[in-house]
Structure 1
Amino acid sequence: METEEETTTTPTTNGGVKLGMWETILRNHHNSLKSLFHLKKPDSIITDHSSVNSPKPIPQLSPIANEVVSTSSKILGVSTNELQHAFDSELPLGVKELLTYARHLVEFCSFKAIQKLSRTSDYLSDSEFRRFTFDVMLAWEAPSVHADQLESPTSNDETVGDEDDASLFYSSSTNMAVQVDDKKTVGLEAFSRIAPVCILIADIITVHNLFDALTNSSGRRLHFLVYDKYIRSLDKVIRNSKNVLASSVGNLQLAEEEIVLDVDGIIPTQPVLQHIGIAAWPGRLTLTNYALYFESLGVGVHEKAIRYDLGADMKQVIKPELTGPLGARLFDKAVMYKSTSVAEPVYFEFPEFKANLRRDYWLDISLEILRAHRFVRKFGLKDTQKLEVLARANLGIFRYRALKEAFKFFSSNYKTLLTFNLAETLPRGDRILQTLSNSLTNSTAASGKRDISANVERKKQSAVSPAAVVALFCLGFKSKKAADIYEETTAVCDIRVGEINPLDMAVKQSLLDTGKAEAAQATVDQVKVEGIDTNVAVMKELLFPVIESANRLQLLASWKDFYRSTAFLILGCFVIIRGWIQYLLPTIFLFIAIIMLWRRHFRKGGALEPFTVRPPPNRNAVEQLLTLQEAITQFESLIQAGNIALLKIRALLLAILPQATETVALFLVFIAAVFAFVPPKYILLVIFIECYTREMPCRRESSKRWIRRFREWWIRIPAAPVELVKPEECKKRK
């Protein structure tokens, strides 16, 4: 009781602003993280912390949740009772309901512990950090004492071996899963809630796709072996990037805030070829968070790097392209870069024998940086917000590299792990970016200052902290601006206890629409048929009502049944004269809508019967090619006829045949006068009677005679001349 009373007192800062109780606890307990992570057994952890009382189990929590809370108290240097009291005092009543109390208490303790650990530079390499974060996910799934009882977390001795062991698990999950307790696996909901707390491990926008990649072969349940290997691979990628950055600053003349994300072309057997015109050079390609750098290979050394800016607004275009020797388009293994800063497109080719995985990877990461800068310009983000956007893009590329190197994973379709690429492909992706922009605009470095209490900070629910900038700074990617942000910011997590981040809501809604789109696409793939004849047969069956209606109108216009044709003529003239023709299309649409609603009401979600089509006789490949050639020939004939008609009209306009031009001009004057002085309904009535009565017995011969005269007149009109000029091929050699 004395401890609780002491912690409730809130000392004041020099400015007179009161500090929150949680800040008082943190300032009164400064414990080294090494004292926790370099111990071998949990018992020794307890005895070594003289400032922390022996942890007492919280009755509302399950055993594994108590273990997580106990470990969090050791990391933070406070007792479990103080943590629980801080939770009861600081958080509103809404997150402390009976059914959610245990889960929110686990979140409260573990979030603060993970945030404190994330401030160190080598936490990814510590096996205890990886074990702790995974145990937090397990505890989040079963936080209450009434939930299914889980065994306590594995001891520190139960660690993962080298990378070959994890690789064996991922490649043969069925064999290894037998050796792993099913209760020691994590589901999507727990992973998507806990992993983004450390933004280096997962981003709140792409965490679902990250989980899909990690559980690709384990039945949508994440095993610790896979999770551990992913974190170790991520740590390796970041260390390599720091080493490359240190050696590339002088060669590439990088700016202070530039970070090297990846380099290709270092291995002589896997070069990168730069194509400009018909010339090609091997060299080394480097991607930073601002530009692409290409260093052509000279005599034993690399020449000065050429910089292709991705940050400025120069109408850059990056897309896959075909390349080959001497400008031939043979191999689909290149990325094209085009902007207003280069005279002609530049192609970066990634030669490899199998598929085009290298090209696809570089296309993805280059587009991610390009789209991140476009996002910054579109929403007018500056300073801290701009740095946060680029930092999120950098961390996404690091995570992508880690998965690629550890599990040979490559993104496809909606499964990309890159935030801004994902927003371009997801339904409602623009809303995700808008939500992110609003969150970044509302966030300031001052929102995490130490002289602001937790309750005031929690009111800014839509704001996100510059967590990615702080994460990169802690990892060793330091700059002056990042240092200022690091000093001013304490909250380094987008997720708050008991709250749903607006970004998470936008992503879930987008994923829901994605599921519907994928289900619809699956039905499309099922109904696709092969062969021209078969597709034509399907189209005829689908258009049967329209074709049948057209045939009946043609039958009436042929006057084979005089009485029906006469009745239709009188009805059509009556509708046109009364002005009802304007209601024809609305009536058709209303009729179709009524049929659809009637079917919707009486079908009641039943399965749709398959559409029956009688396929034409099977044809071999040669016959299908001949059919295709005939169709192409007919299409070519139609295009030729259209061109000839346009050239004859050009001849009339330019008065190549003066007499015909005068006739057409007088006819156009007459038509203009008719449209100017005659009401439209009478014009429509005359056109209807003229077209409909051409086949009447009394008009048939005269109609044929006039059509013949018009054709004879049209044939006598010459076509305007055409000259085909081939452009000169200028081959540039550099």
Structure 2
Amino acid sequence: MIRLIVYFHQVDDKKTIGPEAFARIAPACPVVADVIIVHNLFDALTSSSSHRLHFLIFDKYLRSLDKVVKVAKNALGLSISNLQLDEGEITLDVDGAVPTQPVLQHVGMSAWPGRLTLTNYALYFGSLGMGSYDKAVRYDLATDLKQVIKPELTGPLGARLFDKAVMYNSSSVEEPVYFEFPEFKGNSRRDYWLDICLEILRAHRFIRKNNFNKIQQSEVLARAVLGIFRYRAIREAFHTCSSQYKTLLAFNLAESLPKGDIILETLSSRLALLSVGGAQHDMTESLHTKQKLKLSPVAILTLGQLGFNSQKESNLGAGVEVVGDICVGETNLLEIAVKKSISDTGRVEAAQATVNQVKVEGIDTNLAVMKELLFHHIAIARHIEHFASWEDPFKSTMFLMLTTLVILRGWIRYVLASISVFLAVCMLWSRLFNRGKPLEPIRIILPPNKNAVEQLLTLQEAISKFEALIQDGNIILLKIRALLFAALPPATDKVALLLVLMAAVFVFVPPRYIILLVYLEAFTRELPYRKESSDKLLRRAREWWFRIPAAPVQLIKNEEKRKKKR
């Protein structure tokens, strides 16, 4: 850290540095920056200084970071007796201890205030009792319990009103648990806790995916812990909120960045080289020899020097100088992977901005947009429907002969290939002649405006139609179940015989002829001399289907279901 401060004084008279210098030097001190997030850290520090980092801003960040570390150390000493933390478990943050900033835990219809604590292995929530906190409930983040952590809406009596909660769900809890962070304006508290909880969860998933040993696991968790300390320092010193691609948490960033999986793979390969004495090597050795040397667990050693690690891990750093993820005279593979990923982020953000611009509200408006986008497809479908109606016998006959020839000759694959080639040629033509020209916006005629009551009625009608579709689907499935289990033996016999005949057809008749027969039956159904017989056949099939009973269904309440499980 002292080297960084000296470097500031040596850059220029204004005591500022640029992004390249900061990205190259700052990761040398692991507590100050990490290779994966160093560019985002620089952006956060220089958001108001024309992309030049002033010494005063950097000094403010260091002071805030030092304060966060001291607070975390004090919380570690105080929370061991209350939470009974395991060895190596570090308290990262605590919320809800101040009455003006409570944390509410929602389980089902009930809500209760309490204190929320995050460690590098779990979440703890202690409900507020009579003047003290009850024994904290532990929500594990380390083991594979299919945990889900995401933002959620909460409110009184289970109402989904306020977007200020984090949901935790796993196979170890009966129902989802919601932690609400009430505040008058915004949801920055919720976003902060969501980020740090996901960081720990994703760090453990990264560990399980790569089957790391004990030292490698501790190194990964130490990196996550240091990242959360840096995130807290920036948040408390500058009151800034990071976006998806600008987060200061390494594992969250790798999850959102393009090619972030490559960053994690590169990090995994570097962690495979970990060794206790990796930093103690002769600086006069050749570069080829240095590349074969093991790396030191810098994050573990850094936490040990800060006073967090257990006695066993603290002894690892005895006499070892902590050097971060930098290589003098060269760029390591992790830096290269991060730079490649960041270079693609700009295009992703620009594309996402266009997506956000074209999002519209309202069911009617979205339907109007979709109809306009699918106009040509709808027109083709209408033409095919017109041919199938046989209103123009000549056109319908020509279309039938052409499609029959395509099916008989086996030209369907060539038709699909021709469509693909045609689309490719159109795309290349547009790329060649529309180079640099912006796309013309699609003109959409807005539907008539509706007031609140009309919108509610439209929504109710849409929900009713959707419910009717679900009911029809359930009835079909229940009738099929009745046929399978012979609830109506004569109908089951007919279906079984039909299935046997279909099996024989599939075995002895070539597929192209089966497709042709199905196509001819469907396309010629509206022919004048076939229409009456087709209608009668459909009527008989419908009547037969109506005679089939549905399989019975028994609805059980939740309480009865729980009693049966017990």
State TM-score, norm by structure 1: 0.69
Does residue 552 (structure 1) correspond to residue 383 (structure 2)? The answer is yes
| Aligned-residue offset at 1:436 | 0.8
Does residue 506 (structure 1) correspond to residue 337 (structure 2)? The answer is yes
Q: Equivalents in 1 of 2:138, 2:517: separation in Å? A: 69
1:730–1:281: structure 2 CA closer, same or farther, 3 Å change rule? farther
| Aligned-residue offset at 1:205 | 0.7
SS of the equivalent of 1:445 reads: coil
Does residue 220 (structure 1) correspond to residue 220 (structure 2)? The answer is no
Q: Kindly provide the amino acid, as one letter, of the partner of residue 435 in structure 1.
A: T
Q: Equivalents in 1 of 2:133, 2:337: separation in Å? A: 46
Residue aligning to 1:623? 454
Q: Equivalents in 2 of 1:302, 1:288: separation in Å? A: 18
Pick one of 237, 251, 272 that aligns with 1:441: 272
Matches within 5 A, 1:393-542: 393-450=224-281, 453-455=284-286, 459-460=290-291, 464-477=295-308, 479-487=310-318, 489-490=320-321, 492-542=323-373
Pick one of 419, 427, 431 that aligns with 1:600: 431
Pick one of 463, 481, 484 that aligns with 1:632: 463
| Aligned-residue offset at 1:438 | 0.7
Residue aligning to 2:495? 664
Q: Kindly provide the amino acid, as one letter, of the partner of residue 388 in structure 1.
A: E
| Rg (Cα) greater in structure | 1
Pick one of 201, 210, 231 that aligns with 1:370: 201
Moved more, 335-344 or 516-525: 335-344
Matches within 5 A, 1:62-141: 117=2, 131-136=5-10, 139=11
1:704–1:514: structure 2 CA closer, same or farther, 3 Å change rule? same
Q: Equivalents in 2 of 1:650, 1:526: separation in Å? A: 47
Q: Equivalents in 2 of 1:269, 1:494: separation in Å? A: 41
Note the alpha carbon deviations across 1:65-89, whole angstroms, 9 max, x for none: xxxxxxxxxxxxxxxxxxxxxxxxx
Does residue 262 (structure 1) correspond to residue 93 (structure 2)? The answer is yes
Does residue 381 (structure 1) correspond to residue 212 (structure 2)? The answer is yes
Q: Equivalents in 2 of 1:357, 1:204: separation in Å? A: 26
| Aligned-residue offset at 1:355 | 3.4
Calculate percent identity across the aligned residue pairs. Answer: 62
Q: Equivalents in 2 of 1:258, 1:644: separation in Å? A: 54
Q: Is the 8 A contact 1:271 1:350 kept in 2?
A: yes
| Aligned-residue offset at 1:389 | 1.7
Moved more, 187-196 or 337-346: 337-346
Q: Kindly provide the amino acid, as one letter, of the partner of residue 203 in structure 2.
A: A
Residue aligning to 1:357? 188
Q: Equivalents in 1 of 2:140, 2:128: separation in Å? A: 21
Q: Equivalents in 2 of 1:278, 1:448: separation in Å? A: 55
| Aligned-residue offset at 1:657 | 4.1
Q: Kindly provide the amino acid, as one letter, of the partner of residue 189 in structure 2.
A: R
Note the alpha carbon deviations across 1:242-270, whole angstroms, 9 max, x for none: 23333344444444533332222332443
Pick one of 186, 189, 194 that aligns with 2:25: 194
1:488–1:428: structure 2 CA closer, same or farther, 3 Å change rule? farther
| Aligned-residue offset at 1:543 | 1.4
Which 5+ residue runs of structure 2 have no aligned equivalent? none
Q: Is the 8 A contact 2:483 2:492 kept in 1?
A: yes
Residue aligning to 1:229? 60
Q: Is the 8 A contact 2:120 2:225 kept in 1?
A: yes
Q: Equivalents in 2 of 1:249, 1:295: separation in Å? A: 14
Matches within 5 A, 1:605-616: 605-616=436-447
Q: Is the 8 A contact 2:123 2:138 kept in 1?
A: yes
Q: Is the 8 A contact 2:4 2:26 kept in 1?
A: no
| Aligned-residue offset at 1:458 | 7.0
Residue aligning to 2:120? 289
Q: Is the 8 A contact 2:326 2:332 kept in 1?
A: yes
Q: Equivalents in 2 of 1:246, 1:376: separation in Å? A: 27
Moved more, 598-607 or 190-199: 598-607
Q: Equivalents in 1 of 2:281, 2:543: separation in Å? A: 93
| Aligned-residue offset at 1:332 | 4.5
| Aligned-residue offset at 1:534 | 2.7
RMSD: 3.2
| Aligned-residue offset at 1:413 | 1.8
Q: Kindly provide the amino acid, as one letter, of the partner of residue 354 in structure 2.
A: T
Q: Is the 8 A contact 2:302 2:322 kept in 1?
A: no
Q: Equivalents in 2 of 1:601, 1:671: separation in Å? A: 52
Q: Is the 8 A contact 1:462 1:501 kept in 2?
A: no
SS of the equivalent of 2:245 reads: coil
Does residue 644 (structure 1) correspond to residue 475 (structure 2)? The answer is yes
Q: Equivalents in 2 of 1:402, 1:443: separation in Å? A: 28
Q: Is the 8 A contact 1:439 1:462 kept in 2?
A: no
Q: Is the 8 A contact 1:449 1:488 kept in 2?
A: no
| Aligned-residue offset at 1:206 | 0.8
Q: Kindly provide the amino acid, as one letter, of the partner of residue 196 in structure 1.
A: P
Q: Equivalents in 2 of 1:396, 1:248: separation in Å? A: 21
Q: Equivalents in 2 of 1:238, 1:333: separation in Å? A: 27
Q: Is the 8 A contact 1:448 1:457 kept in 2?
A: no
Q: Is the 8 A contact 2:18 2:52 kept in 1?
A: yes
SS of the equivalent of 1:689 reads: helix
Residue aligning to 1:36? none
| Aligned-residue offset at 1:315 | 4.1
| Aligned-residue offset at 1:421 | 1.7
Q: Is the 8 A contact 2:278 2:295 kept in 1?
A: no
| Aligned-residue offset at 1:344 | 5.6
Q: Equivalents in 2 of 1:636, 1:506: separation in Å? A: 49
Q: Equivalents in 2 of 1:628, 1:303: separation in Å? A: 45
Q: Equivalents in 1 of 2:562, 2:526: separation in Å? A: 63
Q: Is the 8 A contact 2:4 2:25 kept in 1?
A: no
Note the alpha carbon deviations across 1:571-621, whole angstroms, 9 max, x for none: 222222222234332332232223222322333343222223333344444
SS of the equivalent of 2:529 reads: coil
Q: Equivalents in 2 of 1:686, 1:731: separation in Å? A: 53
Note the alpha carbon deviations across 1:49-100, whole angstroms, 9 max, x for none: xxxxxxxxxxxxxxxxxxxxxxxxxxxxxxxxxxxxxxxxxxxxxxxxxxxx
Residue aligning to 1:562? 393
Q: Equivalents in 1 of 2:196, 2:503: separation in Å? A: 60
Q: Is the 8 A contact 1:241 1:262 kept in 2?
A: yes
Q: Kindly provide the amino acid, as one letter, of the partner of residue 467 in structure 2.
A: E
Residue aligning to 1:48? none
1:588–1:340: structure 2 CA closer, same or farther, 3 Å change rule? closer
Q: Is the 8 A contact 1:278 1:731 kept in 2?
A: no
Q: Kindly provide the amino acid, as one letter, of the partner of residue 411 in structure 1.
A: S
Q: Equivalents in 2 of 1:646, 1:260: separation in Å? A: 52
What is the aligned residue count? 563
Q: Is the 8 A contact 2:46 2:53 kept in 1?
A: yes
Q: Is the 8 A contact 2:103 2:181 kept in 1?
A: yes
Moved more, 425-434 or 350-359: 350-359
Q: Kindly provide the amino acid, as one letter, of the partner of residue 523 in structure 2.
A: Y
Q: Kindly provide the amino acid, as one letter, of the partner of residue 354 in structure 1.
A: K
Residue aligning to 1:65? none
1:197–1:679: structure 2 CA closer, same or farther, 3 Å change rule? same
